[in-house]
Structure 1
Amino acid sequence: MPKGRRERERGAAPRPPPLAEHILQAEAPRPSARNKRRGDPGGQVLDGGGYVDQKLSRRILEQARLQQDELEDEHGAVAPRLRTTVLGSRAAASDSEDEEWPSLTAQLEEEEEEEGAEAVLVSLEDEKAIEMFMNKNPPLRRTLADIIMEKITEKQSEVETAMSDISGRPMPQLNPRVLEVYKGVKEVLSKYRSGKLPKAFKIVPALSNWEQILYITEPETWTAAALYQATRIFSSNLKEKMAQRFYNLVLLPRVRDDIAEYKRLNFHLYMAVKKALFKPGAWFKGFLIPLCESGTCTLREAVIVGSIITKCSIPVLHSSAAMLKIAELEYNGASSIFLRLLIDKKYALPFRVVDALVFHFLSFRTDGRMLPVLWHQCLLTFAQRYKEDLSSEQKEALLELLRVHPHPQISAEVRRELLNSGSRDAEVVQPVLME
């Protein structure tokens, strides 16, 4: 008789599996230590007794919601929701955005707070003081559509006249296929959130009639994310004069309208203005100086744009030219903010710019209005940074100005800075060594 099998004693080690099963188990993926610490993809947190961080909690809730949706779809409790992002459907876009990008919104909000684009708290007293120096009859703002229509009308009248004299035929218009393509680009940019842009839009800066093509896409209907991507493309590929027109006709009106509507600046628009400084000359000529020339720049707009000036590195030549131009413009409260922030960068300014700033302050000797605190702060910053670059006559004139427009706290500091410093026209007397 064959030997009977003995029952395995309790507590004995289990018999190892066959070789084939052992190989398959070795090739199977195993959970890593990181997953054990942070929890599995299903949202189950391991027993540890500790607190769950915010990111892990967000993932757990997201997975729980997805599992709930799957159960509802299987049992037919509710109609199945659309899972893909369809460009022509707003509901589909919102669903896919909520499901696929829950952490992106939180990340953008955190970066927005770090970048300083959050809502600016402005008191009513400051706004009233700035409104006293605003232009009561501002010039009409010209949009891209106005410029393009004028150019098209002029070009058509000129060329049609020349063509009629030669061949008697009118000027040919844009190809209908081109119009159809860029009308489709307009639909994409009006719903753009993230991802790649159409290739037809990327080649717009290389076209000779880029303004006309841009007018077809209707920039006022773009999303904020699309405008940021467009600013990146145009600031990198356009020349300085062309980039200046883009900033002035597209970026500046959109930024001002967004601040006026929401009392803050969208994160993507904030980054677009920051990215536009890639060409500082075009940024000053097409964005900042027209903002000051309008005479209607509010304190909120000045603070938001000024935060970008503070965080970005700007070449001294461009900043000097901008300070020279702003000092010669008609005064409004925003000018003091921009001048103070540029002065605080501690550039080695040419004497011509320093003299222009002095004349800017001295022009208020005959002004009977009560000057805002921003003006006194700008004068104090100027005295602190460039007191050694002033002549003795300029210092005397500024001291006389302080008697005309005094401030209880700031004027004493300005007077101390001017009196306890040297002058650029003072002769340096070297001691003579006695033999």
Structure 2
Amino acid sequence: MGKAKKTKVSKSAAEGGDRYVPLADQILDDKSVKSTSRVKVRNRKDRDDEYVDDKLSKRILEQARQQQEELQEEHGAKGKSKKPAPRTTLGTGKSEDDSESSGDEDVEDDDEVYESIEVNEEDEKALQMFMSKDPPVRRTLADIIMEKITEKQTEIRTQMSDNASVQMQELDDRVVNMYKSVRPILQRYRSGKLPKAFKIIPNLRNWEQILYLTEPDSWSAAAMYQATRIFASNLNAKMAQRFFNLVLLPRIRDDIAEYKRLNFHLYMAVRKSLFKPAAFFKGILLPLCEAGNCTLREAVILASVLAKCSIPMLHSAAAILKIAEMDYNGANSIFLKTLLDKKYALPYRVVDAVVFHFLGFQRDKRELPVLWHQALLTFVQRYKEDISSEQKEALMELLRAHTHELITPEIRRELVHSKCRDVEGEMPQGSGVMEEEDD
């Protein structure tokens, strides 16, 4: 048998001298809560620093006021009108001037990428000599819609290669009234959410007809930026190209012509349109070059967007090829220089097209602008080893016909100390001394 366990005796029973206490009393005695005389004291070191007594704070403010008055008397500033210092609200740590801070913090952050561009008037006048005398008529979305309406009323079906994709449908009066009510919202839009009826326009088959009801020409700049975001995200490249060409490009050109600079929201809309590179080149850049009346200011602003954004090589190579084959105007040199300066590994076909573009001026008797010489210098610096020996000799001959006192010697030096793509072996003697200069 096991050893018998001893019965526990409570302390109270032991102190009372009664050793044998009934079991029920022992159980009740153990479960009861007993008060203790111990008092826990927690010393909070930061308690005194958290609050300041009322009397002490009053004395501090009085002393500060007295010191301020003494300083004003010493410097002779008492009684003179000065701009009051911003008052600080107790407990907030912000001044009253800070409380009225604008809510466009994102716009201020993005303002770092937007800079005011100054254009020399003499350069702009020189560039006008190379503009087309008879530019094509600019077409907007309103012009195309009105042609479609007239065509439907007269029941004449003409074939328009570029505008045949415009879908026209009979619209319910409720739909027309709804989108006409959206129009004043877009005219005074600054920030916030857009109506849901406007956001679903890219998903409609006849989105051009619906968009025409909102009058894009009267939208605010902020509304144009939001619309560009929506249409660039929800339309395919072909439809986005139509939006850029019929809505965004006319608004950009009108804004630059009116204010001599581009609105910040429209500038960000152009940057957003580059998310569809093919649509941007076919809807904005190439039509602007083909028009032949692109001003220097327009070219510089759009070129700054190209320089800051990352563009896939194939899209840029196709754009360089198209620009090189166009009739020359000053804006072409700006766009060529910007795209060539991105240092793409271009196919030989594109390099040859650029060479033939410059060689086409061999018999041109006009005095070429500085932009042309700068574009040639950039091309030679970046792709001097991708041209053939015959092209190199032809470019050297071109430099005798068109010269610039500062730029032409640099171009000739780059060509002399370069190895052509069809020459095998070592570099010419002395070419290793000169290092390629990258702007």
TM-score, structure 1 as length reference: 0.72
Contact 2:374 2:407 (8 Å CA) reproduced: yes
What residue is the counterpart of 1:200 in the other structure?
A: 197
Q: How far, CA to CA, are the matches of 1:109 and 1:234 in structure 2?
A: 24
Provide, for residues 98-119 of structure 1, a one-character-per-residue CA deviation record: whole Å limited to 9, x for no partner: xxxx52468746743x22342x
Matched, 1:418 2:415: yes
* Superposition map of 1:150-229 within 5 A: 150-155=147-152, 173-229=170-226
What residue is the counterpart of 2:345 in the other structure?
A: 348
- Deviation, 1:243, is 0.3
Q: How far, CA to CA, are the matches of 1:242 and 1:172 in structure 2?
A: 18
Quick one: which of 87, 93, 100 aligns to 1:44? 87
Contact 2:228 2:273 (8 Å CA) reproduced: yes
Contact 1:117 1:267 (8 Å CA) reproduced: no
Matched, 1:394 2:391: yes
Contact 1:192 1:223 (8 Å CA) reproduced: yes
Of the two, which has the highest radius of gyration? 2
Q: How far, CA to CA, are the matches of 2:201 and 2:155 in structure 1?
A: 25
What residue is the counterpart of 2:362 in the other structure?
A: 365
* Superposition map of 1:230-241 within 5 A: 230-241=227-238
What residue is the counterpart of 1:427 in the other structure?
A: 424
Q: How far, CA to CA, are the matches of 1:172 and 1:402 in structure 2?
A: 59
What residue is the counterpart of 2:113 in the other structure?
A: 115
Give 5+ residue unaligned stretches, structure 1: 1-25, 32-41, 48-52, 63-101, 161-170, 430-435
Alpha-carbon distance change, 111 to 404 in structure 1, aligned in 2, over 3 angstroms: same
Provide, for residues 11-43 of structure 1, a one-character-per-residue CA deviation record: whole Å limited to 9, x for no partner: xxxxxxxxxxxxxxx9xx999xxxxxxxxxx96
2:97 alignment partner, SS class: helix
TM-score, structure 2 as length reference: 0.72
Alpha-carbon distance change, 372 to 352 in structure 1, aligned in 2, over 3 angstroms: same
Q: How far, CA to CA, are the matches of 2:321 and 2:290 in structure 1?
A: 14
Contact 1:129 1:372 (8 Å CA) reproduced: yes
Letter paired with 1:267? F
- Deviation, 1:125, is 1.5
Letter paired with 2:400? R
Contact 2:169 2:206 (8 Å CA) reproduced: no
Contact 2:87 2:95 (8 Å CA) reproduced: no
What residue is the counterpart of 1:59 in the other structure?
A: 98
- Deviation, 1:159, is 9.8
* Superposition map of 1:308-319 within 5 A: 308-319=305-316
Contact 1:117 1:270 (8 Å CA) reproduced: no
Structure with bigger helix share is 1
Q: How far, CA to CA, are the matches of 1:57 and 1:128 in structure 2?
A: 50
What residue is the counterpart of 1:74 in the other structure?
A: none
Alpha-carbon distance change, 106 to 195 in structure 1, aligned in 2, over 3 angstroms: closer
- Deviation, 1:356, is 0.3
Letter paired with 2:286? I
- Deviation, 1:45, is 3.0
Letter paired with 1:277? L
Contact 2:240 2:279 (8 Å CA) reproduced: yes
Contact 2:130 2:330 (8 Å CA) reproduced: yes
Contact 2:127 2:330 (8 Å CA) reproduced: yes
Alpha-carbon distance change, 130 to 377 in structure 1, aligned in 2, over 3 angstroms: same
1:103 alignment partner, SS class: coil
2:102 alignment partner, SS class: helix
Contact 1:117 1:265 (8 Å CA) reproduced: no
Q: Between Structure 1 and Structure 2, how many residues are aligned?
A: 335
Q: State percent identity of aligned pairs.
A: 66
Provide, for residues 258-277 of structure 1, a one-character-per-residue CA deviation record: whole Å limited to 9, x for no partner: 01111111110000000000
Letter paired with 1:116? Y
Q: How far, CA to CA, are the matches of 1:402 and 1:104 in structure 2?
A: 56
Q: How far, CA to CA, are the matches of 2:199 and 2:246 in structure 1?
A: 19
Q: How far, CA to CA, are the matches of 2:283 and 2:106 in structure 1?
A: 31
- Deviation, 1:148, is 1.3
Q: How far, CA to CA, are the matches of 2:314 and 2:243 in structure 1?
A: 22
Q: How far, CA to CA, are the matches of 2:414 and 2:103 in structure 1?
A: 49
Q: How far, CA to CA, are the matches of 2:271 and 2:154 in structure 1?
A: 40
2:130 alignment partner, SS class: coil
Contact 1:323 1:339 (8 Å CA) reproduced: yes
Q: How far, CA to CA, are the matches of 1:331 and 1:356 in structure 2?
A: 14
* Superposition map of 1:257-406 within 5 A: 257-406=254-403
* Superposition map of 1:6-45 within 5 A: 44-45=87-88
- Deviation, 1:248, is 0.2
Quick one: which of 125, 133, 136 aligns to 1:136? 133
What residue is the counterpart of 1:103 in the other structure?
A: 102
Q: How far, CA to CA, are the matches of 1:282 and 1:234 in structure 2?
A: 11
- Deviation, 1:424, is 0.6
Q: How far, CA to CA, are the matches of 1:261 and 1:30 in structure 2?
A: 60
Q: How far, CA to CA, are the matches of 2:265 and 2:380 in structure 1?
A: 37
Q: How far, CA to CA, are the matches of 1:312 and 1:30 in structure 2?
A: 54
Provide, for residues 166-216 of structure 1, a one-character-per-residue CA deviation record: whole Å limited to 9, x for no partner: xxxxx9831000000000111110111111000000110010000000111
Choose 149-158 or 415-424, whichever is displaced more.
149-158
Q: How far, CA to CA, are the matches of 1:278 and 1:396 in structure 2?
A: 40
Give 5+ residue unaligned stretches, structure 2: 1-46, 53-84, 158-167, 427-439
Alpha-carbon distance change, 152 to 188 in structure 1, aligned in 2, over 3 angstroms: same
Letter paired with 1:115? V
Contact 1:117 1:304 (8 Å CA) reproduced: no
